[in-house]
């Protein structure tokens, strides 16, 4: 069976959902390796879209909320500035 939506062929299940529903899963579920600033910006956008979806399409909003509640994507560990600038100090004799 072909997965065609609006004249476009979906390569996989996620792409089919994106084409059919108009929702990008990565916006709600996240992407591997994103840093904390990118994650915060993505979540801010996702919550804005979710607010619109709740008004326009409650069923689609419920799908998006399930994506937000899915297992978090592992984030890269950010090196802190303090840890990066540690200089060993010895005791002068």
Q: Is residue 78's pLDDT more than 50? A: no
* Predicted confidence (pLDDT) per residue in 19-50, tens digit: 666 777 788 788 888 899 998 998 899 889 88
Residues 6+ apart with CB under 8 A from 73: 29, 30, 31, 32, 34
Q: How confident is the model at residue 55 (pLDDT cuts 50, 70, 90)?
A: very high
pLDDT for res 58 = 87
Q: Is residue 76's pLDDT more than 50? A: no
Taking residues 51-68, what's their average pLDDT?
84
pLDDT for res 37 = 93
DSSP 12: S
Whether the model clears a pTM of 0.75, i.e. scores above it, the answer is no
For the CA atoms of 52, 56, 62, 63, the dihedral, rounded to the nearest 10 degrees, stands at: -90
């Amino acid at each position: 069976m072909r997965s065609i939506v609006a004249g476009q062929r979906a390569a996989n299940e996620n792409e089919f959902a994106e084409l059919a529903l108009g929702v990008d899963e990565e916006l709600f579920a996240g992407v591997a390796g994103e840093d904390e600033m990118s994650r915060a910006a993505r979540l801010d956008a996702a919550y804005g879209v979710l607010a619109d979806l709740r008004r326009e399409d409650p069923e689609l909003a419920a799908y998006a909320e399930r994506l937000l509640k899915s297992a978090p994507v592992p984030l890269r560990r950010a090196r802190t500035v303090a840890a990066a600038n540690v200089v060993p100090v010895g005791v002068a004799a």
